[in-house]
Amino acid sequence: MRRDNERKPLVKHIYTADPSAHVFNGKIYIYPSHDVERDVPDDDNGDQYMMEDYHVLSMDDLDSECVDNGLALHQDDVPWVKNQMWAPDAVIVNDKYYLVFPAKDKDGIFRIGVASSDSPTGPFIPQDKPIEGSYSIDPAVLVDDDGSIYCYYGGLWGGQLEMWQSGSFNPDEKRPSGDDEALGPMFARFAPTMDRFETKPCHVTILDENGIPLKASDEDRRYFEGPWMHKYNGKYYLSYSTGTTHYICYAEGDSPEGPFTYKGRIMEPVLGWTTHHSIVEINGEWYLFYHDCELSGGVTHERCVKYTKLDIDDKGNIKTIHPYE
């Protein structure tokens, strides 16, 4: 039986998307991007996604009202940001809360920034500069059992991931296609101070069932954007959006650095172009937080955050969700 809130917009007074959900001190906190109404055409660069700030949502439990805790960080408060504050994540390290977010710098290049607070709801104080060596979008942070802090990130097309294949930014870089190896997300380890990467960023490799890296043409399975990492029964689960085919898929590995083997789909397409999610354990059960465009009637840059329960078998396989059944 579904909960009353399940698969329904958690808030309706603002548009929200890209939810990163966490349990901090027994309470559920959701860190979404904040969509704004813009009468602009859609394009492959994502120019219609002109988010300017972050609000933190919270719930005492899955049956309670979802509360908007107000403005947590605005682009005007971040010295290096020009615009487009896209999908964030949050993490607690040494009793301090960190908001990890992507935005375009003054040159129009996506970088990853960090802001800190003593409260999970902010307000967050940003660092003066983005993380050195960072680029692209959609950061997701995993604190492993040994205390290592991993950051996964990257998105194709408007997210600029493929524009860094040469080692520096080239907006004319050829996109992988056909039998080219698909680009996986990037990963690096944060320093405990959360102000720098202490390892050089590297691509994650996603393999097929025969141990061969997925191809760029395999749009039903290859990575596009929106990485998330969680651990289950000692295994690492990388989940992500396929972008063009609108699936949330997952791959499994024995190390947070990969490689990961493709396992299947978590969710079929939702209403709207983008798919972006997080996975969190709440009271011994696992839940998927995601978004669609139900609240706006299908406007792709006016989305709403939802959640639903995951069905995981004893081998760790995740049953595919059909979001409107």
Residue 147 has phi, psi (to 5 degrees) of 90, -5
pLDDT of the residue at 268: 98
Q: Is the pLDDT of residue 41 over 80?
A: no
Can you spell out the DSSP letters for 267-310? E---SSS----EEEEETTEEEEEEEESTTTTS-TTS-EEEEEE-
What residues are annotated to the active site? 18, 225
Taking the C-alpha atoms of residue 176 and residue 183, their distance in angstroms, rounded to an integer, is 8
Query: Which residue has 């069932």 as its token pair?
Result: 209
pLDDT of the residue at 211: 98
| 181 in Cβ contact with 143 (< 8 Å) | no
> pLDDT tens digits for 169-223?
999 999 999 999 999 999 999 999 999 999 999 999 999 999 999 999 999 999 9
With cut-offs at 50, 70 and 90, classify the pLDDT of residue 1.
confident
Q: Could you give the domains of the chain?
A: 15-309 (2.115.10.20)
Taking the C-alpha atoms of residue 119 and residue 78, their distance in angstroms, rounded to an integer, is 19
Could you tell me what percent of the chain has a pLDDT over 70? Answer: 100
Dihedral angle of Cα 209, 138, 113, 111, to the nearest 10 degrees: 90
Can you spell out the DSSP letters for 163-206? GGTTSS--TTPPPP-TTSBPP--EEEEEPTTSSSBSS--EEPPE
Instruction: Please tell me which residue, 41 or 170, carries the higher pLDDT value.
Output: 170
Taking the C-alpha atoms of residue 182 and residue 41, their distance in angstroms, rounded to an integer, is 28
Q: What's the half-sphere exposure (Cβ side, CA atoms, 13 Å) at 260?
A: 31
What SS3 class is residue 308?
Answer: strand
pLDDT of the residue at 16: 98
- The tokens describing 171, both together, are 């907006």
What SS3 class is residue 267?
Answer: strand
DSSP 8-state secondary structure symbol assigned to residue 259: -
